[in-house]
Amino acid sequence: MIKQCLIGVLIAGGLQTGYAQSPDRINLSDPNLVIVDDSVIPIPLEIFASLDKLGAQNWSAQVEKRDIVLDTNRSRTAMLFGLIVSDGFIAVQAEDKDGVKRMGREVLRLASVLGISNSVESHANSIITHAGHGEWDVVRKELDRTRQTAINQMKQQQDEELVDLVSLGGWLGGTEALSAVLKENYTLEGSDLLNQIDLVKQLKSDFNSLPKRARRGKLFSQVEKTLTHLESLMISDASGSISEGKVIEISLSTKNLVNAIYES
């Protein structure tokens, strides 16, 4: 299962957790990490923790309206849940009221399929209400609470594999958005935010350790291949950065996988 830790210098797009600075990169070997009772890595928070480091960006271009066709594959649904929460953070960054409200409704629909709607309903309704008022800090908090409440409920239901897949979906959505923005406006400093080699190795290891029934089918073969490819791309060069060419490849790989999850 995914290592459970709280990154000690985390600010979630303005949501402060008690520290003064957001992380420059995600490093699971960082001695400052605090292990917290087998809880989940705060994904996608550690992706969105550093958005302000990129300065003014066209986040609205990253907010997509997608029609989600649900099926009986709970593993795919769990990844979709993580992706939708991640999309909610992107919509908040873009201050897109309609987009955030749409994400709130989709969260409820996916939660219903996963059997956890009663647990997250109040959070989803709060997201919709506060998005209408443009209260973005509150919406960010509710998005994170939605994810954490969902994960807690899945653990109570002994759906541990779904916990990992929610986290994987959240990380994937955040990484897709971040790399897409960097592809359009590349900087060495910004590329360092994609220096996530330790995290992607952990995600890959945890994904491969899931029961075969939880990762059966063409989609999950693509997940495994994409994580392996991203592991090779997220290695910094001698200057400590990730090249523009690699950023473009990361953007393409993550986008292709996100599309596959939505369209499967």
167-184: pLDDT as tens digits: 899 889 989 988 998 998
Read off the pTM. Answer: 0.83
- Across the chain, mean pLDDT equals 81
Q: In the chain, where do the E strands start and end? A: 5-6, 11-12, 15-16, 34-35
Say which range, 4-13, 75-84, 248-257, has the weakest mean pLDDT: 4-13
- 96-125 b/e with 16+ CB inside 10 Å = b? bbebbbbbbebbbbbbebbebbebbbebbe
3 state SS for 152-188: HHHHHCCCHHHHHHHHHHHHHHHHHHHHHHHHHCCCH
Reported as type and span, the H/E element at residue 247 is helix 244-263
Label residue 20 by pLDDT band (50, 70, 90): very low
Q: Where are the domains of the chain?
A: 5-263
Residues 119-177 have pLDDT tens digits of: 999 999 999 999 999 999 899 889 888 988 999 999 999 998 899 999 899 889 989 98
Q: How far is CA 24 from CA 7, 46, 53, 237, in A?
A: 11, 10, 9, 16
For the chain, report the end-to-end CA distance as a whole number of angstroms.
25
